[in-house]
Amino acid sequence: MKSYIKHSEWQVVEEGFVPDYNRISESLFSIGNGHTGQRANFEETYSGDSLRGNYLAGVYYPDKTRVGWWKNGYPEYFAKILNAANWIGLRIRLDEEELDLAKAKVDDFTRILDMRTALLTRRFKATLPSGKKVEVVVERFLSIADKEIGAIRYRLKSINFAGKLGLCSYIDGDIVNEDSNYDEKFWIETDKDTTPEQAFLCMETKKTSFFVCHGTETRLHLNGAKVDVARHPYNDEKFVANTFELSLVAGDELCIEKYMAVNTSLYQPKDALMGHVKAKLAQAIEEGFDQLYEAHSQKWKTRWETADIMIKGDVAAQQGIRFNIFQLMQTYSGDDERLNIGPKGFTGEKYGGVTYWDTEAYCLPFFMATAPQVVAKNLLLYRHKHLQKAIENGEKLGFNGGAALYPMVTINGEECHNEWEITFEEIHRNGAIAYAIYNYINYTGDIDYLAPYGFEVLLGISRFWAQRVNWSEGKNAYVMLGVTGPNEYENNVNNNFHTNRMAVWTMRYTLDVIDFVKKEHPYLYSELTRKWAFNEQAETDQWRDIIENMHFPYDAKRGIFLQQDGFLDKEIIPADELDPAERPIHQNWSWDRILRSCYIKQADTLQSFYWFRHEFDKESLRRHFDFYEPITVHESSLSSCIHAILAARIGREEKAYEMYLRTARLDLDDYNNDTKDGLHITSMGGTWLAFVETFGGMDVKDGRLVLNPFLPQSWEAFSFRINFRGAHLEIRMSEDLKVINHSDQSIELMVWDGVITLEGNSNIALARKSIMS
């Protein structure tokens, strides 16, 4: 855990430059706009340790799988969102001595990310080895108002230098992915063009043939006036640049403005790409930095109006939740159903930048409640578009008859994860995708999504579950063998409670969906049964038999469901008895030791208690929480949020706050010593859940919004906003609760077990009530 980031309600602030923390800061100060994003790399040369990262949504490469022992069913590749051309580069020389913070003495260094407007600012004074001193202020943003545009304003003031300044403003396409399996470069140059002030570089990905074009224009002002200086275009392989030379004296300030336009063949024909980018760049130049930034900041202001969470009296908690919300909003905009949310977003290469079950489990609720409904719907449509691929994935593993196994990792619907205990065994992911359909409909009321989209996906998943179980004569029940649950510190176990629960729940929900579609859309239902060769009687009879006769490991003495068969054969030692020097255990223990231990990486059995909360009473939850929480090490970013919510439901206010703060500041304080690899973007959806469901007590039951809020002792007040079935609500909690309806839509909701009706454009105040009991 590191605590060098300053606490601030609206900013992420780093004071002082510590090279050992540079990769962490490059992750923390990342910026993006839903279509492109970049780590907070320096514009000027930096020869120290750095992970260069510029990423474009949907542009990927199928990197050939690298495994020690090939197994039938392994995917042939791991898809990776590619590190694209570095367009921010500014190589600065003072009388041939290069400005490089790895070699200079750095003073008064600050790096600030303003979350209100997604503006990245950096300030420093640098003394070069020769004694030359300069002062630099840099501002950079990627426009959310026009997602093809980015801009840099780089101000360099000479403190004691008099002489020639050389500038090379470049686009470098000779880029590598640090996680390349075979040290391969993935880009081919297809076209380029340069003028004295502009540079354009078009690249193509190997194998997948995505085409990308970047264009930049660089403009100079000296002491506030546009300056006419010697300038030259420069071309090399996969490299284009504009070079400038001018004279400075002490006190001069040079302002470099660099504008960027980018697009890909996802949105433009490849033959028209450069022309389109040239036109877009001309538009950016005409608007100028200030006008572009104003449009960008206004768009962010609008976005924050519906998504902000306010905490009064706890700056660390406030900064944490806004940081998580900010990163979610700049990672996914929801305007393209072909795109999804990678675990690291645009902040690093780990996990390939592709889609996991995290999206459905943790991110979907945030977008359901804070964005237009189409945004969340597009996340579901992403999986529907991949249904046929999921069926093919199932066929590769020996399933048939339209059984759909959605991939653990994907970008195009094909499985691209290649660790057997995950690829073949972590099949609870199928349940998460089914649950997302229910969750979306339960929250939005958009039940017509079931016909046909939801029905088709649920049918394929239920068919998979029906084939994945087998009958055990010894247990006189159906069992599911050889699986990995959400707790990846267990592999190849039998009858993981959560996985079995997801299978039963999915088949039961699919039966309800069938009844709905048959009744409300009979003609469509007939078409769907023919399309999918659905034998309703035979298949649903089988599902009902499995539902009634599934085995769930249970310990009668403790009154708890067990994570899997044989779990109590382990030695149960609370995690707080571990030597802190051995944490996190996945960085200090052998895998053999981890597998034999009782320690849980993230909520597993408790994940079912979270999702199916209406099926378990508070006392049952208390028993399970008291057994599993002490042996959970929370070494997955997806863990603390669930434990926070469950702790609140059983009145454990201090534990709820502890878990919330951990998830909210997971990256800001580098809890798991891995922020340098990129941020935990998908877990940030869990942070939002941890806030609104822990402190807001938010739930949906029988189509009605439920609120059971409580105020932590260290807070003075909090507020949050949500959209719910046409209403836009603001919930304010202090000494009393106030609910404000900012829409015309009236709404019935339950607050502290009492039902109230809130008319459009009205508000209601209620006396505060504690959840403690």
Would you give the DSSP letter of residue 518?
H
Nearest to 172 by CA among 240, 218, 242, 93: 240
Residues 404-444: tens digit of each pLDDT: 999 999 999 999 988 888 889 999 999 999 999 999 999 99
Q: How many CA atoms lie within 13 A of 487 on its CB side?
A: 31
Instruction: Give the CA distances from residue 422 to residues 216, 318, 429, 491, 599, in Å, rounded to whole numbers and listed in that order.
Output: 43, 36, 10, 8, 18
pLDDT for 422 equals 87
pLDDT in tens, 319-351: 999 999 999 999 999 999 999 999 999 999 988
Going along 294-376, which residue ranges are E strands? 309-312
* Separation between Cα atoms, residue 333 and residue 299, nearest integer Å: 12
Instruction: Compute CA distances 474 → 436, 470, 477, 564, whole Å.
Output: 35, 12, 8, 17
* Cβ proximity of 154 and 144 under 8 Å: no
Tens digit of each residue's pLDDT (9 = 90 or more) over 615-649: 999 999 999 999 999 999 999 999 999 999 999 99
- Token pair 């999804």 is found at 340
User: Tell me: the pLDDT tens digits for 137-161?
Assistant: 999 999 999 999 999 999 999 999 9
What's the rounded Cα separation, in Å, for the pair 512 and 272?
49
Q: What backbone torsions phi and psi does residue 757 show, to the nearest 5 degrees?
A: -110, 125
| 315 three-class SS | helix
pLDDT at 769: 60
Report the distance separating Cα 375 and Cα 336, nearest Å. 9
Q: How far apart are CA 206 and CA 228, in angstroms?
A: 41
442: left (phi over 0), alpha (psi -120 to 50) or beta: alpha
- The pLDDT, as a whole number, for residue 523 is 97
- pLDDT tens for each residue of 698-746: 999 999 999 999 999 999 999 999 999 999 999 999 989 999 999 999 9
Q: Is 690 helix (H, G, I), strand (E, B) or coil?
A: helix
Q: Cα 121 vs. chain centroid, distance in angstroms?
A: 23
* Catalytic residue IDs: 488
- Structure tokens, 607: 């994940």
User: Residues near 410 by Cβ (< 8 Å), separated by ≥ 6?
Assistant: 79, 354, 355, 386, 389, 416
